[in-house]
Amino acid sequence: MQISIWDHAKYVTDKANPRPEMRANLKRLADAGVKRVLVYWPYLEDHDGYLEAAAEAGLQVEPWIHPERMMKHPPRRVLTPEQLQAMRRNLDIELRFPCPNHPEYRRQVLAIAEDIAAKYGDRLHGLHLDYFRSANFICCLDYPCGCEACRAERRRYFGFEMPSETDLKQPWYIYKETARLAAHLHALVSDLHALAARKGLNLSMAARTNYANSMDIFAKPVWGLGPATLEGQDWTQWADDGIIDEIIPMNYHPVLERFADNLDAHLRLLAGTRVQYTSGVGVYSSMGVVPPDDVRARLKMLRDRGVQGACLFNGTPFTDEYLQVVREFAQA
């Protein structure tokens, strides 16, 4: 089984001289059988040093591209004080994430990827997309964005710029708001795929584990875990359309039955497509902690179903116990 790791690279303590720590950590991962690191690019200060250390360890690298954290001037969703107040009152959150419908979003994210590919492309295995979606479907639909791009599109499709409370509940409104969000993200991913193909790079993505109707959504309806279909991240469509090479759903559920439900859904959704399926496995995530034996059970489940790749997510460095589990499966 090919094991990859999402690497936050937060372990570096000596910021002035990070290379020895990066080299030691990457060698430790490679020695356990890890083949690839998807590294959180915005946290890394020494990109060259990281790539050098990974090359020494024999690891493939894919920089982890996160639009909100990497855009210099992210076009934030435009919300009125009343909308923000209502969001806080009703959902206990205040989300002001960038608007994927804004042309600046596509322009800036593509420029970021082009810059990485130009500077480091010959040392990379691929590019890895994270958070290519809106942040939260309840917020998007109930608190619509008032940026100039959203207003102009609504003016064309509906004849108004901002919906009334009644419009918000109409099927034609919900359909078109969801569809135009999906179309903007599809166009961006399509551009990125063309760029990756030109440079000979793999285009992988961290995907919402909940594509359409996972039970997770009911467990955490506000911060939630999708569904991808309402957040503009229709990764099954992206697979059908050949605009992504590898899909890694973030299947972090600490309950094994839920992990299995999600896994079976992912296999059903991607059957017959040419996309490479790699299952994300949570070790320590916002969903909870999965102990080493439970990670073992998940990797065994993947192997039993013929899944060739797993990608482990851990907010902290891996302990030896986890690396022992990696060793057992990486060599099998």
The site for Zn ion (CB under 5 A) is made up of 99, 101, 145, 147, 150
Q: Quick one: CA dihedral 201, 206, 209, 212, positive or negative?
A: negative
Residue 245: helix, strand or coil by DSSP?
Answer: coil
Comparison of 37 and 147: residue with beta carbon closer to Zn ion: 147
Give the nearest distance from C-beta 152 to Zn ion in angstroms. 10
Cβ at position 106, least distance to Zn ion in Å: 12
Residue 212 CB neighbours (<10 A): 15
Nearer CB in complex with Zn ion: 147/312:
147
- CA–CA distance, 107 with 112 (Å, rounded to integer): 9
Tokens standing for residue 175 = 């359909």
CB of residue 77 vs Zn ion: minimum separation in angstroms? Answer: 6
- At residue 33, φ and ψ (nearest 5 deg) are 110, 5
Residues in Cβ contact with 156 at an 8 Å cutoff, skipping those fewer than 6 apart: none
Beta strands 279-285; 288-289: pairing state: antiparallel
Closest contact distance (angstroms) between CB of 100 and Zn ion is 8
**Residue with smaller CB distance to Zn ion, 178 or 251:** 178
Secondary structure (3-state) at 92: coil
Q: What is the DSSP string of 185-198?
A: HHHHHHHHHHHHHH
Closest CB to Zn ion among residues 232, 280: 232
d(CA 131, CA 322): 26
C-beta closer to Zn ion: residue 231 or 246: 231
CB nearer to Zn ion: give 146 or 317.
146
Please, what is the minimum distance in Å from the beta carbon of residue 231 to Zn ion? 14
- Which residues contact residue 195 at a Cβ distance below 8 angstroms, ignoring those fewer than 6 apart? 110, 113, 114, 117, 127
Q: Is the peptide bond before 98 cis (omega within 30 degrees of 0)?
A: no
Element (H, E) at 67: helix 67-70
Residue 321 beta carbon to Zn ion: minimum distance, rounded to whole angstroms: 46
User: How far apart are CB 184 and Zn ion at their closest, in Å?
Assistant: 9
Q: Of 157 and 284, which CB lies nearer to Zn ion in the complex structure?
A: 157
